[in-house]
Amino acid sequence: MAEEIIDLRHFRSRQLDPLWNEQAREWRRDLRWDYASTLTLVRQYVESRLLSGYVLTGNGREPLGYGFFIYDSGKGIIGDLYIRPEMRTEARSNRLLEAMLETLQSTPGLRRIEAQIMPYQPAELELVFRAAGFAAHRRKFMVQPLEAAPADSPVQGLAPWSGEAMDAAAQLIVEAYTGSVDAVINDHYRTRAGAVRFLHNLVRFPGCGFFDTGASWMAMGTDRLRGLILCSRVMPDVTHITQLCVWPGARRQGLGWQLLLQARVALCRSGCQAWSLTVSAENSAALRLYERFGFDTLREFDAYVWER
């Protein structure tokens, strides 16, 4: 029986469980990331038949891989693409991806599509994305082990993250990323409403791990929020930096460094073993800061963007 591409909504979550179990194992091994919490959400959406996507099936409709996407006010976001390791070929990945892109690009009113599929190496999906008119932006996944981190002292003058700072944080994000490649990749960074949405997703939903209050800090100036670091736990002993930004008027004075330092002090005290982040290769200021701070690149991947 030939392999088929079937609408995800024809499947119950238990049919996809073996696939997801393998995926969670791979994320844990390769990225030190417990993807199971994200998959819990995905499972719920699949069960409610609320998720758009496709399953690639082999003999007897056995799922070999799957991909899903979401619609977010005029934008499509590719949420995942996964093929079981022993079945993983470029042709199978491309087939699933093509099916998703075809559906998204033929959706009336859809003006933009974003995709960041971290486990795929750069160039692996490039032919399909390029043929569909996407631009690629190289990103780096960086990690710093914390077992041997220096025993730094806490930084004075920073405040722990508070939900009351949500609006100020959104404003800071918009100003910090104006004109940057990250605002090209992620259009939530371009408007205050988008940045609030981005922050809500981080703080309230476990899509990117569980918000790590202890490792999230703010630099309050007399008149405005000057800097921010936000983190989420992606494993019981591993955290991911989901946001680091400094107001343009306060840069190159060591504030980014101090925010990293304060978060690291808190993480070491809580027994965290490692932390990670993603950064655009073009973002030389951030890359230099992370490298000096002791992060190493573990892998690279591409972020893809399409505008109608």
Ligand X SMILES: CC(C)(COP(=O)(O)OP(=O)(O)OC[C@H]1O[C@@H](n2cnc3c(N)ncnc32)[C@H](O)[C@@H]1OP(=O)(O)O)[C@@H](O)C(=O)NCCC(=O)NCCS
- Cβ atoms of residues 68 and 52 within 8 Å: yes
* Residue among 203 and 286 whose Cβ is closer to ligand X: 286
Which is nearer to ligand X, 101 or 229 (by Cβ)?
229
The smaller minimum CB distance to ligand X, of residues 5 and 287, is found at 287
User: DSSP class of residue 205?
Assistant: -
Residues 257, 121, 88: CA angle, nearest 5 degrees = 145
Task: Give the H/E segment covering residue 278.
Answer: strand 274-280
Q: Is residue 286 a contact residue for ligand X (CB under 6 A)?
A: yes
Closest-approach residue to ligand X (CB): 256
Residue 154 binds ligand X (CB under 6 A): no
Which ranges of the chain would DSSP assign to H, the alpha helix?
Answer: 13-31, 36-47, 90-105, 126-131, 166-177, 181-185, 192-204, 255-269, 284-293
Q: How far is the CB of 172 from ligand X (least distance, A)?
A: 9
Residue 138 binds ligand X (CB under 6 A): no
**Least distance CB 251 / ligand X (angstroms):** 3
Show the tokens assigned to 17.
């469980």
| Cα–Cα dist 135/130, whole Å | 7
Q: Counting Cβ atoms within 10 Å, is residue 142 exposed (0-12), middle (13-18) or buried (19+)?
A: buried
Instruction: For residue 307, list its beta bridge partners.
Output: 112
Shortest Å distance, C-beta 253 to ligand X: 5
Q: What is the closest distance, in whole angstroms, from the C-beta atom of residue 264 to ligand X in the complex? A: 12
105-109 contacts, C-beta under 8 A, 24 or more apart:
105/132, 105/306, 107/71, 107/76, 109/74
In the complex, least distance from residue 152 CB atom to ligand X, rounded to whole angstroms: 10
Tell which positions 235-264 bind ligand X, by CB under 6 A.
244-246, 251-257
d(CA 228, CA 95): 41
Instruction: By CB under 6 A, name the one of 288, 296, 298, 308 that touches ligand X.
Output: 288
Rank residues 88 and 251 by Cβ distance to ligand X and give the closer one. 251
The residue range among 6-14, 55-63, 135-143, 277-285 that interacts with ligand X, by the rule CB under 6 A, is: 277-285
Give the whole-angstrom CA distance, residue 72 versus residue 112.
10
Residue 279 touches ligand X, criterion: CB under 6 A = yes
| Amino acid residing at 20 | W
39 vs 241, beta carbon nearer ligand X:
241
Nearer to ligand X, 192 or 292 (CB): 292
Report in angstroms how near the CB of residue 245 gets to ligand X at its nearest.
4
Q: Which two tokens stand for residue 88?
A: 């993983």
Q: How many residues bind ligand X (CB under 6 A)?
A: 21
Nearer to ligand X, 182 or 187 (CB): 182
Q: Which of residues 164-203 bind ligand X (CB under 6 A)?
A: 176-177, 180, 182
Tell whether residue 158 is a contact of ligand X (CB under 6 A).
no
**Given the rule CB under 6 A, which residues bind ligand X?**
176-177, 180, 182, 244-246, 251-257, 279, 283, 285-286, 288-289, 292
